[in-house]
């Protein structure tokens, strides 16, 4: 139900073009073409990273790298715990 913005609004051109593409090709093809789904997933994962802490505690670059790798390992473990294990019945 999105309506086009007025042309004098900031960012109206890009938004209106996206609306035209969605109307012409459909939302599914537009998402693949624009990379919307992938971008959305990355934004969600970055938000999760920020929830583990806004700043790095270490000053040394190698230790900062290790700190980020630990955070990523924690997120991967949480993700693995949240994936349901399905088994066929019968």
CA distances in angstroms from 66 to 42, 59, 81, 87, listed in the order given: 21, 12, 23, 37
pTM to 2 decimal places: 0.55
Q: What is the pLDDT, as a whole number, of residue 85? A: 85
Task: DSSP for 50-69, please give it.
Answer: HHT-SS-S--SHHHHHHHHH
Q: What is the pLDDT, as a whole number, of residue 64? A: 93
Mean pLDDT of 82-86: 86
User: Does residue 63 carry a pLDDT above 90?
Assistant: yes
The better pLDDT of the pair 37, 68 is held by 68
| pLDDT tens readout for residues 3-58 | 888 888 888 888 899 899 999 999 888 888 888 888 888 888 888 888 888 888 88
User: Does residue 60 carry a pLDDT above 90?
Assistant: yes
């Amino acid at each position: 139900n999105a309506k086009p913005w007025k042309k004098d609004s900031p960012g109206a051109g890009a938004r209106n073009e996206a609306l035209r593409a969605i109307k012409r090709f459909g939302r599914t093809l537009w998402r693949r073409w624009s990379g919307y789904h992938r971008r959305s997933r990355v934004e969600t994962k970055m938000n999760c990273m920020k929830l583990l802490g806004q700043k790095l505690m270490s000053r040394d670059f190698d230790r900062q790298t290790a700190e980020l790798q630990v955070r990523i390992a924690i997120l991967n473990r949480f993700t693995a715990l949240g994936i349901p294990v399905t088994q066929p019945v019968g």
